[in-house]
Amino acid sequence: MSLLSQQLGSQMVNLGSALLLLTCFAIVAQRRLTACVDMFAVQSVLLAATAALVAFLTGIHHIYIAAALTVVIKAVLIPRILKQVVERLNVTRELVMNVNIPASLLICGGLVMLAFFITQPIIPLGFLLTRDSLAISLAIILIGFFTMIARKKAVTQVIGFLVMENGLFLGATSAAYGMPLIVEIGVFFDVLVGALIIGIYTHRLQDAFDSVDTTKLTTLKE
Amino acid sequence: MAWPLLLLVAVPIVAGLGSLLAGRRRTVEVLQCVSAVTMLASAVLVADRVIAGGSAAVEGFLHTDALSAWFDLILGVVGGTGTLYAVGYMGESMDRGHLPLKRYRQFFCLFDLYLAAMLLAVNLENIAIMWIAIEGSTLSAALLIGFDRSKEALEAGWKYIILSSVGIALALFGTILVYYSSEHVLGVSSEALRWSELYRVAGELDPAAIKLAFVFALIGYGTKAGIAPMHTWLPDAHAEAPTPVSAMLSANMLSLAVYAILRFKAVTDKTVGPEFSGSLIIVLALLSLAVSSAFFLVQRDYKRLFAYSSIEHIGIALLGFGIGGLGVFAGAWHLMNHALAKSTAFYGAGLVFLRHNHKSLERVTGLLDQMPLAGTAILVAGIALSGLPPFGLFSSEVLIAAGAYTAKPDVAYAFLALLAFAFATLLYQVLRMALGTPGEAGTAPGRQCRIFTGAAVGINLVVLSAIGLQVPPRLEPLLASIVTLFGAGIEVPR
C-alpha cells in the first residue's frame, strides 16, 4: 500500500471512530427513550462500517464477519428487543436523570480527555492505520459506564452497557486488528444472551415493582 | 487425550441439559448424583495427572498447568458437594410444594451450566476464550440469584448483573490491551492470546501497555471477586440467592475471579516485576478486610454475615498473592480451605433457613441441640473461618502475616489488627448460633434432604480436617510450581 493511500485510510478510520464518539454524545443528550435506542442502532451501523473499512485496508477477512454480525445483532436485533421492552412495559418515554444533560455532556467531554490521557503512553505502540482508535474506544467505554450511572431507567442502563460493548468492539477490531474469529463469535453470543437476560430482568422488575425505575430498588441496604 | 479433564468439563454440561429434558424428578436426581461424583473424581484425577506429568491437555482446546489444576481441585470438589447439597435442598423445597417440577429442572440446568462454565474457564489456555467462559458463568449466575423471583431476589440479581457486566467489560478491555501489545511480538494470531506464549515473551511486551492491562483486569475481575470497593453486589447476592447458589458463588466464583487476576498478574510480573501488581493488590486487599470487618458488627442476617466473611477471606488470599514468595503459597492454600469452609457454612445456613424460613441472626440459637447437622457445619466451619487451628486457614493466615512482616511491616500491622477484629466478631456470632438453647421450633427438613445435605457437609468437613494440619505431600509439587509461576522458587513448608 502506498504511503498516500495509507494516510487516507488512517484518516478514514479515524473519521469513523470520531463519528462513533459523536453518537455517544447524542445518546447522552437524548431526552426520549426510543430516540436513545435509535441512536444506539446508528452507532452500531457506524461501528460495522469502521470495522469493514479496517478489514478492507488490512486484508484481514474475518473482520468482515464480525462487522456483519454487528449489523445483524446490534443494529437490528437488540434495538428491536429494546423497543419491544419499551412498548410492552409502557414506561413513560421521558428519561429520568441523576445528572442533567448539560452537566452530563461536560462530564463526557472530561471522560474523553481522560481516555486520551490514560492511553497516551501506549498509543505509539499501535498500528499506524488505527492509531487513535484505542483512545476513542476507551472514551466510548467510559461514556457508556457514565450513562449507566447517570440514568435511572433500567432500559437506559442496558443501553449504557451496550455502548460499553461497542467501545470494546472498536478497541478489538480497530486498535488490535480483530481478535481471532472464535473469540469474536463468542463475545457476540455473550452480548446477545446478556441483553436477553437483562430484558428478562426488566420484565420481572416491572411485574414485581410496577416500575423499571431502578431508584425504587432500595430494600437491600445496610 | 486426557479423559478426566474432558469429563470434568463435559459431564456437568450433559447433566444440566439432561436435567432440563428429564421427565421425572428421579431422573434429575440420578443425573445430578452422577455429575457430582464425576466432578469430585475427575478433579482429583486431573490434579494427579498434572502432578505426575507437569500438565494435562485436550489438544487445541483445554490446557491444564499447576495453577489450573489447583483451581480444578477447588472447583471440582466444592462443585461436587454443592451439587449433592442442591439435590437435597431443592428437593425439600419441592416436597413442600414451593417449587414445581418445571422450575426444579430449570434450576439444575442453570446450576450445572454455571459450574461447567467455571470449570471450563480455569482449563482454557486462551485468555479471550477464558473471558467468554467467565462471562457465561456471570450470566447463568444472574439467573440463579434471581431464581426465587421475590422482590429482594430480583433487586439483588439486577445489582449483580449490572455491576458484573461493567466489571467484565473492563476485564475484556484489559484482555484486548494484552493482545494489543502481544501481537507485535507474536503476530496477529491466536498464539498471541495463549498464556504459555505470553509467559514466554513477557520480557519483550510493552511495559506501559501491560501495566494498563493489569489495572483494567484487576478492577474488572476484582468486581467479580467482590473486593472492595467493588463489592456492593456481593452481600445482597449471597443473601438472596437460593442457598446452594450462595455456596457456589462464595466458594467457586470468587476463587475463579481470583484465578483470572492471578493469570494477568503472572504476565505482568514477568514484564515489569512483582512490585507494581503487588502494591495495587495489597491496597485493595486491605481495603476489603477493613470494609468486611466494619460490616461484621452490624449484620442481622446470617447469610449476609457469611457473605462479608467471604469478602474478608478473598482479601486475605489476595494479600498473600500481593506480598509474593511464601505469600503466594499461603494465598493458594487459603483459597482452597476457604472454599471448603465457606461452602460448609452456607450448607448449614441453608438448613437453618429451611427449618425456620427466616434469615434473622438474633432469632437463631441452640443449633447443636436442635439441628445437629447444621449446628456442626456452622460451628466447625465458623471456627475454621475465624482462623483458629487445627484448620488450614490458621496456617495460611500465619504465613501471610509472617510474609508481610518481612516484606512490609506496616501491612502486617494493619493486617493483624483487622484480622483480630474479624476473628472476634465472627466467632462470637457463630458460637451464639451454635450453642445455647433452641428458640423457635420450625419445620424439620425431610429424610431425603437430610441424607443429601449430610453427605455434602460430611465430605467437606472430612477434606477440611484432613488437610488442616499439614499440606498433603502429594499436593506439594503443585503448590511449588504455582509459586514458581510468580517468581523465585521456594521450599514448600511442611
3-class SS letters over B396-417: HHHHHHHHHHHHCHHHHHHHHH
Alpha carbon distance B254, B240 (integer Å): 17
Interface probe for B, chosen from A54, A190, A210, A214 (most Cβ of B below 10 Å), is A190
Question: Searching chain A, which residue's CA lies closest to the CA of residue B183?
Answer: A176
C-alpha cell at A26: 447524542
Per-residue pLDDT of chain B (494 residues; tens, 9 = 90+): 588 899 999 999 999 999 999 889 999 999 999 999 999 999 999 999 999 888 888 877 889 999 999 999 999 999 999 999 999 999 999 999 889 999 999 999 999 999 999 999 999 989 999 999 999 999 999 999 999 888 889 989 998 998 998 999 999 999 999 988 888 888 777 778 888 889 989 888 889 999 999 999 999 999 999 998 999 999 999 999 999 999 999 999 999 999 999 999 999 999 998 889 999 999 999 999 999 988 888 888 999 999 999 999 999 999 999 998 889 999 999 999 999 999 999 999 999 999 999 998 888 888 999 999 999 999 999 999 999 888 999 999 999 999 999 988 999 999 999 999 889 889 999 999 999 888 888 888 889 999 999 999 999 999 999 998 788 888 988 998 999 888 754 444 44
Q: How many helices (H) and strands (E) does chain B have?
A: 20, 2
Q: Are A151 and A97 in contact (CB under 8 A)?
A: yes
Task: Compute the Cα dihedral for B432, B434, B438, B439 and give only its sign.
Answer: positive
Tell me the shortest Cα–Cα distance from A179 to chain B, in angstroms: 8
pLDDT value for B488:
53
Q: Which has the higher per-residue pLDDT, B141 or A204? A: B141
> How far is it, in rounded angstroms, from Cα B74 to Cα B255?
8
Q: Are strands B62-64 and B56-58 parallel, antiparallel or unpaired?
A: antiparallel
Answer whether the bond into residue B472 is a cis peptide, omega within 30°: no
Question: What is the rounded average pLDDT for all residues in chain A?
Answer: 84
More confident residue, A120 or B59: A120
- Are the Cβ atoms of A141 and B169 closer than 8 angstroms? yes
Helices (H), B22-150: 25-53, 66-95, 101-122, 127-145
Q: Which residues neighbour B223 within 8 Å (Cβ) at sequence distance 6 or greater?
A: B163, B164, B166, B167, B168, B170, B230, B233
Q: Which residue has the cell 478497541?
A: A171
**Chain centre distance of CA B426:** 20
Q: How far is CA A207 from CA B231, B333, B347, in A?
A: 28, 45, 31
CB contacts of B177 in chain A (<8 Å) are 122
DSSP symbol at A151:
B
- Find, among B296, B333, B325, the residue nearest to B418 by Cα: B296
Cβ atoms of A70 and A186 within 8 Å: the answer is: no
Check pLDDT > 70 for residue A143: yes
pLDDT at position A196 is 83
Selection from A97, A55, A74 nearest residue A190 by Cα: A74
Residue A4: its pLDDT value, please?
Answer: 67
Contact assessment for residue B385 and residue B345, using Cβ atoms and an 8 Å cutoff: yes
Q: What percentage of chain A reaches a pLDDT higher than 90?
A: 27
**CA B60, CA B53: separation in Å to the nearest integer?**
18
- Could you give the CA distance from residue B77 to residue B39 in angstroms, rounded to a whole number? 7
Reduced to 3 states (helix: H, G, I; strand: E, B; else coil), residue B230 is coil
| Phi, psi for residue A213 in degrees, rounded to 5 | -80, 110
Position B462, amino acid: V
Cis peptide before B229, with omega less than 30 degrees from 0? yes
Q: Which residues of B touch A126 (CB under 8 A)?
A: 180
C-alpha span between B487 and B478 (Å, rounded): 15
Q: Which residues have C-beta within 8 Å of that of residue B265, sequence separation ≥ 6?
A: B214, B277, B281, B321, B486
Q: Which of B136, B146, B156 is opposite residue A220, by nearest beta carbon?
A: B156
- Optimal mutation site among A183, A187, A210, interface B, most CBs of chain B within 10 A: A183
Chain A closest CA to B132's CA: distance in Å? 6
Residues A39-81 have pLDDT tens digits of 999 999 999 999 999 888 888 888 898 899 999 989 998 898 8
- Which grid coordinates are listed for A134? 484505542
ipTM over 0.85: yes
Q: Which of A122, A154, A186 sits opposite B209 (nearest CB)?
A: A122
Question: For B298, which of A122, A148, A222 is closest by C-beta distance?
Answer: A222
Output DSSP code: residue B57: E
The three cell numbers of residue B263 are 493469570
Contact A180 B177 (CB under 8 A): no
Virtual CA dihedral for B456, B457, B458, B463, nearest 10 degrees?
A: 90
Residues 174-193 on A with a CB inside 8 Å of B are 175-180, 182-183, 186-187, 189-190, 193
CA A178/CA A161 separation, integer angstroms: 21
Distance CA(B327)–CA(B278), nearest Å, equals 11
Residues of A in contact with B183 (CB under 8 A): 176-177
Q: Give the helix ranges, DSSP H, for B273-325.
A: 274-296, 302-323
Ranges A105-114, A191-200, B370-379: which has the least confidence: A191-200
Helix axes B326-356, B447-466, angle to 10 degrees: 160
Buried b (16+ CB within 10 A) or exposed e, A95-132: bebeeeeeebeebbeebbeebbebbeebbebbbebbbb
- Maximum Cα–Cα distance across chain B: 68
For residues A24 and A140, is the Cβ–Cβ distance under 8 A? yes
Pairwise CA distance, residues B462 & B470, whole Å? 14
Provide the residue type at A213 as one letter. D
**Could you give the maximum distance between any two Cα atoms of chain A, in Å?**
63
What pLDDT sits at residue A128?
65
| Cα separation, B162 vs A80, whole angstroms | 21
CA–CA dist A193, B8 (Å, integer): 25
Q: Which residues of B touch A120 (CB under 8 A)?
A: none
Residue B283 backbone dihedrals phi, psi, to 5 degrees:
-60, -50
Instruction: Give the position of cell 467489560.
Output: B169
B342 close to B313: Cβ distance less than 8 angstroms: yes
CB atoms B176 and A168 under 8 Å: yes
Contact B28, B104 (CB under 8 A): yes
Contact B173 A209 (CB under 8 A): no
Q: How far apart, in whole angstroms, are the C-alpha atoms of residue B73 and residue B458?
A: 17
Of A176, A189, A219, the CB nearest to B179: A176
B153 contact partners, CB below 8 Å, separation of at least 6: B145, B146, B147, B240, B241
